[in-house]
Amino acid sequence: MDLHEQRQLEVARQMAKVKARARPWRAIIALVLAAAAGIISSVAGRDFESWTGHGNVASKIVAASTAAAFCLFAVVGILGLAGRARQALQPVTGSAHAAVIRYAIVLAGLILTLVFTLTLFKVPVTQLIVGGALTTILIGIAAQQALSNVFAGIVLLLSRPFIVGDTIQLRSGAMGGLLEGTVTEVGITYLRLDTADGPMSLPNAQVLAAAVSHPAETSTAAHPEADGQQVVPATPGDAPAGPAATDGQQAGPADLGLPAAGQAGTAGKRQPAPPPEPQSPGGASPQP
């Protein structure tokens, strides 16, 4: 790499640092401009009652242009603020929790921006709220399965029964019995699990309804090891251990304290009793 390429890389790094530092200020400046545009539009809109009336053309132009500017600056500021919040919270709470917070900020900000923009354009918001509530109910009924996965994902992220990298077992009849694998991602709608059959995506609603357990690790008490070799536990039928065999030879009966085959046969036979010694007529025993 020559000196020119090194300078280009250094300039690119400096530009990246400057952009990273300027991102929160962009969002703040955009929100300030949105607030100023909203105030100007509200003040200009007091000069006329409706957009179809005669007169006050200048006020109408100012009110409409500033209302549109408010909507644009507010959207830019909310997106920038949500992205900055995700970057700040990701090292602390993780990517999944940071994504949930970003979605919440974006959703709440866009709803407020839409309501304020409609108010600046003198649109009856009350009727729209009632109609929007009915529409939301219908959409919620139609998208019940998808919404259940979303809310189940939020519950899993907040309760944290497992984290990324854990090996878990899921027991559920809806998922076909027992599933075991390593958690690779906890998303808003799906859980990514690395199983023996390959990667698998499970709906969060079914994961939340399943029984989750962590497989117990193999303990040293169950499988003791000595000198790097596994020790086989003795059974009641095993013979008592005698002196250890040397030179890789199996211990024989003599090593175990048992008689040999020939000795066992000889010891099993009875030896005849010796004949009685003859006695003298006087009753005294003969002297040797």
Q: Whose structure tokens read 């007529």?
A: 281
pLDDT confidence of residue 189? 84
Would you give per-residue pLDDT tens digits along the chain (288 residues)?
566 677 777 777 766 665 655 567 888 888 899 999 999 998 988 888 777 777 778 888 898 999 999 999 999 999 988 888 888 877 776 676 777 788 888 988 998 998 899 888 888 877 777 777 888 888 878 878 888 888 888 888 778 888 888 899 888 877 777 888 898 888 778 888 888 888 888 888 888 888 888 887 543 444 444 444 444 444 444 444 444 444 444 454 544 455 544 444 444 445 555 555 555 454 444 444
Q: How far is CA 4 from CA 10, 13, 17, 18, 75, in A?
A: 10, 14, 20, 21, 40
Q: Give DSSP secondary structure letters for 54-65.
A: SS-HHHHHHHHH
| pLDDT score of 172 | 80
Local structure of 250: helix, strand or coil: coil
In what side-by-side order are the strands of the sheet with 167-172?
A: 198-203, 190-195, 177-186, 167-172, 211-213
Would you state the pLDDT for residue 210? Answer: 87
All domains in the chain, ordered by first residue: 8-142 (no CATH), 164-213 (2.30.30.60)
Q: Which residue has the tokens 């409409």?
A: 64
Q: How far apart are CA 77 and CA 38, in angstroms?
A: 14
pTM of the shown model? 0.52
Residue 71: Cβ-neighbour burial (10 angstroms; 0-12, 13-18, 19+): buried
User: Among 66, 4, 64, which residue's Cα sits nearest to residue 35?
Assistant: 66
